[in-house]
Structure 1
Amino acid sequence: MSSILHLKFFLEKHGFHVSSRLADKLGMRANSVRLFFIYISFVTVGLGFGVYLILAFWLRLKDLIRAKRTSVFDL
């Protein structure tokens, strides 16, 4: 359990200051940088889901347009 706490403290000390250091370099507030990362994460998740829906609609439309015929006499 001690190693897990050690890892947690290490990540908190070195990992969570990324947005504040980036904000200092860009001359912005850290809150704005954090909000930007949150918005970008929602956009990327939504973009993947949107592409999935478009492809599903496209395949369904293709199946509706091109009917499957099982024999020559279905013409």
Structure 2
Amino acid sequence: MYRLKHFIEWQAFGVCSAVGDKLGIATSRIRLWFIYISFLTMGSPVIIYMVMAFWLNIKKYILSARRNPLKYL
């Protein structure tokens, strides 16, 4: 149970970390605001979060394919 909680809080998709790094804001503050906004808007930011997570995964996939083009053959 602890491992699942740790994964969700600190490593789930890395969206908050990526936004925090890009804007120069602490990741914990971004997570906190995401939770507040999710409660106020009845969970609609979750859709935005999932789109951003998808975009980050695609971006990582494309960058890794550029580094080693033979990896996925």
TM-score between both structures, scaled by the size of structure 1:
0.38
For the pair shown, the structure with the greater C-alpha radius of gyration is 1
Structure 1 or 2: more helix by fraction: 1
Q: Which structure carries more relative contact order (alpha carbon 8 Å, separation 6+)?
A: 2
